[in-house]
Structure 1
Amino acid sequence: MEKYIDIIKNSYSGYWNYLKNEIFFQNHWDNYFYGLIIISLLVWGLEILFPWRKNQSIFRKDFWLDTFYMFFNFFLLNLIILIALSNTAAEFLNDILSSVGLSLQSLQIFDVDNLPNWLGLFVFFIVSDFVQWNTHRLLHRVPFLWNFHKVHHSVKEMGFAAHLRYHWMEPVVYKSLLYLPIAIIGNYDAKDVAIVYFFTITIGHLNHANLGWDYGLFKYIVNNPKMHIWHHAKALPKHVRFGVNYGLTLSIWDYIFKTNYIPHNGKDIELGFSGDETFPKDFIKQELYPILSKNKDFD
């Protein structure tokens, strides 16, 4: 037990020092703090220059709430919960495997570090995106998880910052289900992984932006605003009532597994979910919602 307490303490102090360095000292290209700000400003600029819904305000409904979510979830949530939880869970898993004579290294299919740099990054990205696509489906189909995911679907007007409006429990689920698949293919250098993260953040921001783009033929590979808006549609036919277009970065999984759905131009469709009229409007109440409410959507 003392070992786990030390891991938690070191996780907090280590991430706090990392975050301070990101904000005040480090000027290298893979700075996540300023990378997020630059990507956000660029995509917001595209929204202003090429608005799809021209009657939507630049400072749309819940703009500042989503901006707070963006920084809280991308940085402060790691400090409060995720880093300590992730490091503790990883050590706990290692201890369990050791008790039966196994290790994460023994489970590795191959090590991406042994591949050419571009190929290793590509494998890391494809495996990560596919696992997250499946996890996203679970968030819609499991009532307990859907109650957390409602926070993201409470967005009523799409804009870049809506990308990172989500309940703190979501990354716990994503990271838990992603841990073993990534461990099986081996660790990858953090600076190289930053390339993947910046790419996925950019695509995620664009997917939620007030833009009417689908990228032409690339729409069958990369998720896009015209496709993702249907994921946020309030009304869907009964045969797809659990959701559609689950892709985070890539759309190809939806086309392969027949969960793609773009019946017509979704420019002016209503967003949200059934019963969202009574959903909390502020951060604290939205975070407490899954604990204080009962999910009736799957009755």
Structure 2
Amino acid sequence: MDIFGIKALLICALIFIPFENLFAERPQKIFRQGLAVDLIYVLFNSFIIKAAVVMMAASILGVAAILVPQSITQAVGGQPIWLQVAEIILITDAGVYWTHRAFHKIPALWKFHAVHHGIKELDWLGAFHSHPIDIIVTKAISLTPIFFLGFSEASIAVFSLIYFWHTMLVHSNMRITFGPLKWLIASPQFHRWHHANQREAYDKNFAGQLPFLDVMFGTYNATGNKVPEKYGVDDPVPSTYFGQIGYPLLPRGQLSNPAAPSTEADA
């Protein structure tokens, strides 16, 4: 059993590396800064997150069996797979949007999320570069309604596959905008302007898959074809894996955080 997802990593590399070279948004080496740390995130996070989701699903399904009428779970799980997948994407991304926004607005949560924003050279591997607490909390909030309402295993599996590939795509170093569909489907252009360390990008583009959520709640950043000048944060995030894992847990004063609320931003 490939519990660390090494086979999936190799398949992804064979797909994304050539395409990032063909359609590169900005010049960037394959063996870029931070590559080794990102590979560690892929291996360790894969195992940790899988274990956390399995335990979370088992707990939620147990509670749902007691609290949710069987008629509801049967009705939800009996819908066509395509409709269930569409509903799952909408429900989970609403959860992702508000959780993501909270991680930016609440200083204690930002310490965890700053690890993800610390990426200075963005590509498909950036999808895995997140503190485990950040991912687990986000998945707990976004997936709880899905397990609770009784969506079928097949629809959850299809959604998981779509989410897996789409997350890597939006972090990739590819010049793709999706044209008129940019309001409906998150593109690399949309998400890189969430990672940009520039004033116009702060607290923008929180949605994971559905940009119209940002449009609805006033956090959409329409950038056209502009390319960010730089990525990363001004916070003193360590460069090593274990340094980053321990970074949010160390006692310190208020972080200097360009993406979190500040007196200047609120003025």
TM-score of the pair, normalised by structure 1: 0.76
- Deviation readout 1:222-274 (Å, 9 max, x if unpaired): 1111111110111224xx74x11012122221122221113454424111123
Distance 1:205 1:87, change over 3 A: closer
How much identity, in percent, do the aligned residues show? 26
Distance 1:69 1:105, change over 3 A: farther
The partner residue of 2:237 within 244, 269, 279 is 279
What is the number of residues matched between the two proteins? 257
Distance 1:116 1:234, change over 3 A: same
Tell me, yes or no, if the aligned pair for 2:84 and 2:151 is still in contact at 8 Å: no
Distance 1:105 1:177, change over 3 A: farther
TM-score of the pair, normalised by structure 2: 0.84
Tell me, yes or no, if the aligned pair for 1:108 and 1:183 is still in contact at 8 Å: no
Query: Could you tell me which residue of structure 2 aligns to residue 197 of structure 1?
Result: 160
Q: 1:87, 1:180 → 2: CA distance?
A: 8
Distance 1:111 1:273, change over 3 A: farther
Is 1:70 the counterpart of 2:42 in the alignment?
yes
Q: 2:6, 2:156 → 1: CA distance?
A: 15
Matches within 5 A, 1:110-125: 111-125=75-89
Q: What SS does structure 1 have at the residue aligned with 2:30?
A: coil
Is 1:245 the counterpart of 2:205 in the alignment?
yes
| C-alpha deviation, 1:282, in angstroms | 0.4
Query: Could you tell me which residue of structure 2 aligns to residue 224 of structure 1?
Result: 187
Q: What SS does structure 1 have at the residue aligned with 2:173?
A: coil
Matches within 5 A, 1:97-246: 103-105=67-69, 108=72, 111-189=75-153, 191-237=154-200, 241=202, 243-246=203-206
Structure 2 residues not aligned, in runs of 5+: 263-267
Query: Could you tell me which residue of structure 1 aligns to residue 15 of structure 2?
Result: 42
Q: 1:260, 1:204 → 2: CA distance?
A: 18
| C-alpha deviation, 1:107, in angstroms | 10
Distance 1:107 1:229, change over 3 A: farther
| C-alpha deviation, 1:103, in angstroms | 1.2
Distance 1:284 1:201, change over 3 A: same
Q: 2:71, 2:101 → 1: CA distance?
A: 26
Tell me, yes or no, if the aligned pair for 1:223 and 1:250 is still in contact at 8 Å: yes
Q: 1:215, 1:72 → 2: CA distance?
A: 32
Distance 1:266 1:129, change over 3 A: same
One-letter amino acid of the structure 2 residue matched with residue 236 of structure 1? R
The partner residue of 1:260 within 220, 223, 230 is 220
Q: What SS does structure 2 have at the residue aligned with 1:135?
A: helix
Tell me, yes or no, if the aligned pair for 1:107 and 1:184 is still in contact at 8 Å: no
Structure 1 residues not aligned, in runs of 5+: 1-19, 25-31
Q: 2:128, 2:68 → 1: CA distance?
A: 31
Q: 1:183, 1:83 → 2: CA distance?
A: 11
Tell me, yes or no, if the aligned pair for 1:152 and 1:167 is still in contact at 8 Å: yes
One-letter amino acid of the structure 2 residue matched with residue 121 of structure 1? V
Tell me, yes or no, if the aligned pair for 1:60 and 1:159 is still in contact at 8 Å: no
Distance 1:105 1:172, change over 3 A: farther
Q: What SS does structure 2 have at the residue aligned with 1:69?
A: helix
| Ranges of 4+ aligned residues in structure 1 off by more than 6 Å | none
Tell me, yes or no, if the aligned pair for 1:160 and 1:206 is still in contact at 8 Å: yes
Distance 1:107 1:128, change over 3 A: farther
| C-alpha deviation, 1:138, in angstroms | 1.2
The partner residue of 1:53 within 26, 32, 37 is 26
The partner residue of 1:291 within 249, 259, 264 is 249
One-letter amino acid of the structure 2 residue matched with residue 220 of structure 1? W
Question: Rg larger in 1 or in 2?
Answer: 1
Query: Could you tell me which residue of structure 1 aligns to residue 265 of structure 2?
Result: none
Distance 1:88 1:291, change over 3 A: farther
